[in-house]
Structure 1
Amino acid sequence: MSDSKDAAFGAKHDHIFLGDGHEKNERKTWAVIGLCSAMMVLEIVGGSLFGSLALVADGLHMSTHAGAMLIAALAYTYARKHATDSRFVFGTGKLGDLAGFTSAIVLAMIALLIGYEAVSRFLSPIPIHFGEAIPIAVLGLFVNIASVWLLSGGSHGHSHGHNHGHGHDEHPHQEEAQNILAPAGAFAVSIYEDGVPPVFRITPATENPRLSPLGVLITTVRPNGTRQVFTLADRGGYLESTQRIPEPHAFKATVQLSDGDYEIEFEEHEHRDEAHDATTRDHNIRSAYVHVIADAAVSVLAIIGLVLARAFGWLWMDPLAGVIGALVIGNWSYGLMRDTGAILLDMSSDQRTAENVRHAIEDGGDKVVDLHVWRVGPGHMSAVVSVSTNKSQHDSRFFHALLERIKGLSHVTVEVQPAHVSR
């Protein structure tokens, strides 16, 4: 027989998996709707009267903002009001991702429209009234900047992610080193995780240290009393643990050297990496943010195109600005569609959490037979795990207590089966 139990960590089994800033983001989105709607009318009318494709494109794109913001705002409101609706098996946390995917499609369509109109203007240029068009484009840029500020709450507290292709790490992936002063010399003990699973490192802090991995052990003791022993290997100049360290990194540790034991302590720190962003990012507010950032980019391009066309008579600069804007918007649309689509299809976006679950179980001698980890809302991961064990005391409650310390794991279903049972 198998022993199964379901629990929702952090959600008190009510399956509410909304992001931490859900209501705040909802209010910010409604505020931007009014601002974008007013500017949309001004730019479309002004661009049509004064013959600027880039300005009309800017206004058309801003018109999609009003619609996109409405989609985002309604998604926030609906998700909040139906968060406890039992018809949603895993809550309404993914509704924002659905809204983000919809907004990405709208972005892609408007990029195609701008590109089509730009090519048409290349083939059939029309006169532009620069004196009227340029001030409106500048005003549009100011409105976009104001919208960006409103959505960010006057800060950069959320992760909008524009698929720039680089990380946004705010600190090194290494915990503050704990120093040990031993007869053989001074050593720094740290948790290293720069591009690798977290491991212990013991690095000499003085010249000519005498340290061999033989007999060196690190034993961690977590707040719940769980102990784990780590062996170390020589990596050439420093020692490194052969086992990875499960999350969270908050525990006391005993470093056993040949001349005695040394007590140290580590505290958990926030980590900002791509895996963390994939788990916690609110794609609904991200889609709204991408819309206004894209419109700001089109506004800048419109101003540049209009100024150069006026100064040098390069009328082709105006439609060229539209082409560039279409490419930029299309790229951001693809990134948003890719990320939200992956979540809607339950693709595993956080391998780090999956590995934490696997190691938390297997480091204790049990075996993970089947494991599925997926996102159910911003900052909330769900896991279904099947465990094979030959230890009678390791029931589902044991494994729930073991996995409860993994940050971001909000809902867990555990199946436990005797080791001799085959699947």
Structure 2
Amino acid sequence: MSDQTTFAGHDHIFLRADHERSERRTWWVIWICTAMMILEIVGGSLYGSIALVADGLHMSTHAGALLLAALAYRYARKHAGDPRFSFGTGKFGDLAGFTSAIVLAMIALLIGYEAIRRFFAPVPIDFAEALPIAGLGLVVNVVSALILAGGHDHGHSHGHAHGHGHGHGHGHGHGHGHHHGHAGDDHHHDDETHLVTIGGAAMRLGIFEDGVPPRFRLAAEDGDLPTAAAVTIETIRAGGRRQAFTMTAADGYLESHEEIPEPHEFTAVVAIGDASGAVNFVEHEHAHETTGRDNNMRAAVIHVATDAAVSILVIVGLLLARAFGWRWMDPAVGIVGALVIASWAFGLIRDTGAILLDMTPDRRLAQRLRETIEADGDELADLHLWRLGPGHLGAILSVRTASGLGAADYQRKLARFRSLSHLTVEVHARSA
């Protein structure tokens, strides 16, 4: 291969676009929890209510967990450009989420232990005092959850905004390339239709693959739909490869009989009789929604959501215990609450642990990368795919090829994978 070297620097900031907004929301909830904690501890001490003091101390555990989340946001933001972090600070949120999950698991164990102990050694319950405190705790947690979740998309954002690429090669038959971009909005193939005018008639051509193999769909924008026999579609891909598609009639549209192979990046020529029109399809591949999930915010939301859920269970248990004399309801709902918290903690530990260990975050995306590289007869010899931060993935690919293509050529092939914020391509020459 020719010795062709190009290089352009780029940053390694792999944070969500709403990073600072999430940080501000977390601090707001911390102040709310801290104010409630002080009010309960001071009020309980002045009026001799040990239950109020205990709830204030319990509130302090949530304030501490949220403080961890806020500090993780701040540290990641302050050190986003620190060269000591080779792949940026995007994983600080996952580290904080993992730590919070461990704390949640410990809280679940303590609640479960105390609930089981109370089964065998019941304690007297002051319903007049306990119910208002549980109700107040529920209100605070609901307000906190609304603040934290306000405007949060729960991870449905996918990295697919336009970016830039650069690469550098060596005279040893291999090269490297990088692609860097930022998160944007989501869309689906079946939403990506194109208007094309053929012989004066306006038509809409799209690719539909919602749970079915991908096929063309052609519909009339206005006027009558032509017969299926009168319509043909031909795709023209890079390098001049062509494929013809025949159409079949469906309910209000025409659908191609043949499936559309990956990748969906080509010029489609639609012919109706002697008239024709062309449409350019540029596919943007998206990673799974969990790739864009902010696990730091997720951990903070889980902390207040679990406390809200436990508050509801406690209120129900106290009401039933007071109405029917079922003293066992109090420890029973404690066990249920412990199981709920443990379940959410386990899910958070599993997801954040996988990210911290650099497990492949999206197997479907990894397969799509392989299919794209090997579509023209090249071999993807090695692939490493990992998460750099919410909505950002890193990938290292090793390609064996006899085509003479370089790193920049494979960067262009993979440009449609917009969640790849840091892409390194190594190319090795292979005899034909």
TM-score by length of 2: 0.77
| CA–CA distance in structure 2, aligned partners of residues 74 and 371 of structure 1 | 34
Query: Structure 1, residues 257-305: CA drift from partner, whole Å, max 9, x if none?
Result: 776534346688997xxx5321111111111011111111011111111
Is the contact between residue 349 and residue 375 of structure 1 (CA under 8 Å) also seen in structure 2?
Answer: yes
Larger deviation, residues 204-213 vs 141-150? 204-213
- Judged with a 3 Å threshold, the aligned counterparts in structure 2 of structure 1 residues 305 and 395 are, in CA distance, closer, same or farther, namely same
- Select which of 110, 134, 145 maps to 1:137: 134
- Judged with a 3 Å threshold, the aligned counterparts in structure 2 of structure 1 residues 98 and 212 are, in CA distance, closer, same or farther, namely farther
Aligned residue-pair number: 393
Residue 85 of structure 2 corresponds to residue 88 of structure 1: yes
| CA–CA distance in structure 2, aligned partners of residues 58 and 207 of structure 1 | 69
Deviation at 1:157, TM superposition (A): 3.3
Paired-residue identity, %? 52
Query: Structure 1, residues 295-347: CA drift from partner, whole Å, max 9, x if none?
Result: 11011111111111111111111111211111111111111111111111111
- Judged with a 3 Å threshold, the aligned counterparts in structure 2 of structure 1 residues 369 and 269 are, in CA distance, closer, same or farther, namely closer
- Name 1:106's counterpart in structure 2: 103
- Select which of 153, 157, 161 maps to 1:157: 153
Matched ranges for 1:325-340 at <5 A:
325-340=337-352
- Judged with a 3 Å threshold, the aligned counterparts in structure 2 of structure 1 residues 172 and 91 are, in CA distance, closer, same or farther, namely closer
Residue 241 of structure 2 corresponds to residue 244 of structure 1: no
Residue 18 of structure 2 corresponds to residue 18 of structure 1: no
RMSD: 4.0
Is the contact between residue 236 and residue 242 of structure 2 (CA under 8 Å) also seen in structure 1?
Answer: yes
Q: Mark the runs of 5 or more structure 1 residues left unpaired by the alignment.
A: 161-169
| CA–CA distance in structure 2, aligned partners of residues 80 and 3 of structure 1 | 39
Larger deviation, residues 372-381 vs 188-197? 188-197
- Judged with a 3 Å threshold, the aligned counterparts in structure 2 of structure 1 residues 203 and 103 are, in CA distance, closer, same or farther, namely same
- Judged with a 3 Å threshold, the aligned counterparts in structure 2 of structure 1 residues 41 and 120 are, in CA distance, closer, same or farther, namely farther
Is the contact between residue 263 and residue 283 of structure 2 (CA under 8 Å) also seen in structure 1?
Answer: no
SS in 1 for 2:190: coil
Residue 421 of structure 2 corresponds to residue 413 of structure 1: no
- Select which of 234, 252, 255 maps to 2:270: 255
Matched ranges for 1:337-356 at <5 A:
337-356=349-368
- Judged with a 3 Å threshold, the aligned counterparts in structure 2 of structure 1 residues 414 and 179 are, in CA distance, closer, same or farther, namely closer
Residue 376 of structure 2 corresponds to residue 380 of structure 1: no
- Name 2:215's counterpart in structure 1: 200
Residue 383 of structure 2 corresponds to residue 366 of structure 1: no
Matched ranges for 1:297-312 at <5 A:
297-312=309-324
Deviation at 1:26, TM superposition (A): 1.2
| CA–CA distance in structure 2, aligned partners of residues 6 and 58 of structure 1 | 62
Is the contact between residue 233 and residue 242 of structure 1 (CA under 8 Å) also seen in structure 2?
Answer: no
Query: Structure 1, residues 177-204: CA drift from partner, whole Å, max 9, x if none?
Result: 5688999xx997432333467x233378
| CA–CA distance in structure 1, aligned partners of residues 329 and 117 of structure 2 | 13
- Select which of 396, 405, 421 maps to 2:407: 396
SS in 1 for 2:130: helix
| CA–CA distance in structure 2, aligned partners of residues 146 and 228 of structure 1 | 58
- Judged with a 3 Å threshold, the aligned counterparts in structure 2 of structure 1 residues 5 and 60 are, in CA distance, closer, same or farther, namely farther
- Name 1:37's counterpart in structure 2: 34
- Select which of 190, 194, 210 maps to 1:174: 190
Deviation at 1:211, TM superposition (A): 4.5
| CA–CA distance in structure 2, aligned partners of residues 414 and 270 of structure 1 | 18
- Judged with a 3 Å threshold, the aligned counterparts in structure 2 of structure 1 residues 196 and 373 are, in CA distance, closer, same or farther, namely farther
| CA–CA distance in structure 2, aligned partners of residues 135 and 5 of structure 1 | 71
Residue 191 of structure 2 corresponds to residue 191 of structure 1: no
**Residue identity matched to 1:104:** A
- Judged with a 3 Å threshold, the aligned counterparts in structure 2 of structure 1 residues 286 and 242 are, in CA distance, closer, same or farther, namely same
**Residue identity matched to 1:217:** E
Deviation at 1:404, TM superposition (A): 2.9
- Judged with a 3 Å threshold, the aligned counterparts in structure 2 of structure 1 residues 317 and 42 are, in CA distance, closer, same or farther, namely farther
Query: Structure 1, residues 136-165: CA drift from partner, whole Å, max 9, x if none?
Result: 11111110111112212x3453449xxxxx
SS in 1 for 2:365: helix
- Name 1:120's counterpart in structure 2: 117
- Name 1:163's counterpart in structure 2: none
SS in 2 for 1:241: coil
| CA–CA distance in structure 2, aligned partners of residues 72 and 192 of structure 1 | 41
Is the contact between residue 72 and residue 92 of structure 2 (CA under 8 Å) also seen in structure 1?
Answer: yes
- Judged with a 3 Å threshold, the aligned counterparts in structure 2 of structure 1 residues 266 and 389 are, in CA distance, closer, same or farther, namely closer
Query: Structure 1, residues 9-43: CA drift from partner, whole Å, max 9, x if none?
Result: xxx62211112111111111122112223334666
- Name 1:165's counterpart in structure 2: none
Matched ranges for 1:310-329 at <5 A:
310-329=322-341
